[in-house]
Structure 1
């Protein structure tokens, strides 16, 4: 196992994981125990949850708090994931006022309630026609970039940023700036300046969108409105781009699976659940800390223990999924924890499902001969965030004939 210098029995997250090929270390840990020792970056020892049932228990139990946020240690390099540069006083206040990923209980519910209605199943259905148009437009761009093209840059990322702007309510005249800030990366101050411009526009021109809802919520301060909008702009979009591009890698690694969807595109909605199970992005989700002693199975977790859940490992738990290392687009993979679970589960998962459904449906319908040329996904790479997530990487494909 992976040694960790912070103390006997501690381990770090393995550095040899890849999006469709998790490190064998996770399987060994999962076989040995549902909870294994894990070292954290501040030097203390906590636990890693490796199995499915125990993962759901921890993620749904209010006795596990989001605070303090202590990140797991990795054997490999980790990218910071935060936008660079200084931030003005209003931006600092916004960032500290609406940390929905780091609060619990009533405060978390209050902030989450302000944005939830735009990310329901019904909202996803409402946006589906426009999402389908965006997917069709970006598919033409992908085809036009051929005969060999990067599916991430020419398809997955443009879909993800455009749908994000749509749902949030970024005005059309600011979408290019929004893309530059949140897809291509920009200093924090530029990001906040752009969001303030979007907020100013929606104050004068409200719509059926997240920004308008935030502005109309009398329970939110102006700092919380800006902070929530910034958090939403940084969250979820990269997940969709990753899932589209990595899902294509997984399907083209097993061409018969892609062929099944080509022959029957109506299988795509179920296949999406299997793809996100198989290609789970989060090696670990935001760690929790036990606020009191908690019994998990035959083990009692002492109060104060930091517990990190590996959704990558949980979604490959053979106790829940038969032959979990096999991609099977006919599998009923509902119940996976790729989008998290419990009160902190992914807010945008229903809209994400619509994006993924439309993207994969368009590919198998229009490009039945799509083939993988090469991908950086087949090489271990730095984790994209201290939370421990994979990053989307280039995916070169061919078979782009109209």
Structure 2
């Protein structure tokens, strides 16, 4: 029986995992059912999805609304660095595609999607590659150590988003200040670059393979983001009408939390899923979500991640890992259960 509550008191979402070894509870739950009843911090009971196929279906199904923002962690304050007025807050909520359902979601997303299309992003590839090269020049000139998040990933992410969004250079500092606060300095680009390098620097065979055959990197990006998915839980959904999927009976009003971290480790979809393998065919992963709320910036992320990893491997062949906070469990980033990038300190031989 997969419906109803399998525990007398539904468990809370575990917080003992890392981007490299998610909580073992997720795999345990998935062997029992593709979704498990859990208790949020505020006492709300909802469904936590760990199975790949169910996660894929829920993310595509508009019967799982996106406007009720109840997270397993409970409400967290939104910190923007500077106080904002009521009118500005209203504008943020009205235009926040992550918290909207159609038709408002469709209207807002349509206005932005063109800037993040494959064609638009490829048009910025040369500028992004040049900026990454400049940042590496500065990093190498400064010494023989760096924090791959603060010194590379964060400024590169800011630059890439400014280019795609058309934010002028005169406003880039303001943009960076808003999106680099403690609660918001997350994102597939600011998190992935450092996290990927931790895995590669810890696996000499795969590191050497990509150095010898850098043409593999664009395809390997899919495995990079599958294995290192950051959303332990995506933005919450609420069931808008009774529906049964994969044997789970969802009732109207139920909160639903999809774990792309857990879904991407489902052995029914990805054989030997806990193995990081840059030669794996990883297309179809859910690291960027799925359906109408799939990450609008995923094409940008692919380009930036691929270019950054390529240049890092080419230009700093003696790089070694010194410290990576995320090798041990850390507090989640922001108000969603997402892995934080932490410090990724590396060193290399000086000239």
TM-score by length of 2: 0.93
* 1:334 paired residue number: 283
The structure in which a higher percent of residues are helix is: 1
* 1:396 paired residue number: 345
From 90, 95, 105, give the equivalent of 1:93: 90
Task: Spell out, residue by residue over 1:301-339, the C-alpha distance to the aligned partner (whole angstroms, 9 max, x if none).
Answer: 111111110000000011111111111001010110000
| Alpha-carbon RMSD | 2.0
How many Å separate the matches in 2 of 1:45 and 1:296? 19
* 1:122 paired residue number: 119
3-state SS of 2:123 partner: helix
3-state SS of 1:267 partner: helix
3-state SS of 1:105 partner: coil
Q: Is the 8 A contact 2:73 2:336 kept in 1?
A: no
How many Å separate the matches in 2 of 1:255 and 1:158? 27
How many Å separate the matches in 2 of 1:111 and 1:305? 26
3-state SS of 2:124 partner: helix
* 1:55 paired residue number: 55
Segments ≥4 residues shifted beyond 6 Å? none
1:83 and 2:80 are equivalent in the alignment: yes
- Against the structure 1 CA distance between its residues 147 and 15, is the aligned structure 2 distance closer, same or farther, given a 3 Å change threshold? same
Task: Spell out, residue by residue over 1:126-171, the C-alpha distance to the aligned partner (whole angstroms, 9 max, x if none).
Answer: 0100010011111122223332221111111111111111112221
How many Å separate the matches in 1 of 2:228 and 2:284? 15
* 1:204 paired residue number: none
How many Å separate the matches in 2 of 1:338 and 1:384? 16
Instruction: Note the 1:2-401 alignment, pairs <5 A.
Output: 8-73=8-73, 80=77, 82-83=79-80, 86-184=83-181, 238-399=187-348, 401=350
3-state SS of 1:244 partner: helix
Q: Is the 8 A contact 2:81 2:181 kept in 1?
A: no
TM-score by length of 1: 0.81
Q: Is the 8 A contact 1:250 1:279 kept in 2?
A: no
- Against the structure 1 CA distance between its residues 19 and 79, is the aligned structure 2 distance closer, same or farther, given a 3 Å change threshold? farther
3-state SS of 1:304 partner: coil
Structure 1 unaligned segments of length 5 or more: list them: 1-6, 187-233
